[in-house]
Amino acid sequence: MGRINHFAVLLAVLLQQVLGFAWYHFLFGPAWLAGLGMTPEQMQGRSWRFAVSMGCGLVSAYGLAWLLEATGRRGLAQGLVMGLFTGIAFAGSAVLLHYAFIPAAWPAAWIDTGVTIAAAALTGAVLGLWPKRSR
């Protein structure tokens, strides 16, 4: 962890939250809720999930930071590609796997998979652009 830029990790997690807010509130919120068979009222009182979201964001951002460092990847393009790769290969496929066992939730599955991949790509871009400087 000595070669990881912790500020870049925190910025990436913050940007993941902003992306999620825009994704679910402005872009796909009604379609996502309909895909889950839920109403906006049913989502009330669930603010503790934001803490879970930030915790998972920290885990994924530190994991991607470690992977970028371990493979020597630097810069926007390499960070973005590594983020897309991990987003599709690991996170996105895991989301779809779990949705495969939920009947009639495919619209929500694609919406959740999309934001998962976009967040990984965004995280990779931030971490690639802002690596820790050598002393």
The pTM score is: 0.92
* pLDDT one-digit tens code per residue, 41-95: 888 877 788 899 999 999 999 999 999 999 999 999 999 999 999 999 999 999 9
Which residues in 58-76 are b (16+ Cβ under 10 Å) and which e? eebbbebbebbbeeebeee
- Higher-confidence residue of 2 and 116: namely 116
- Any alpha helices (H) in the chain, and if so which ranges? 6-22, 29-36, 48-71, 75-86, 93-99, 106-129
> Among 107, 83, 97, 77, which Cα is nearest to 9's?
83
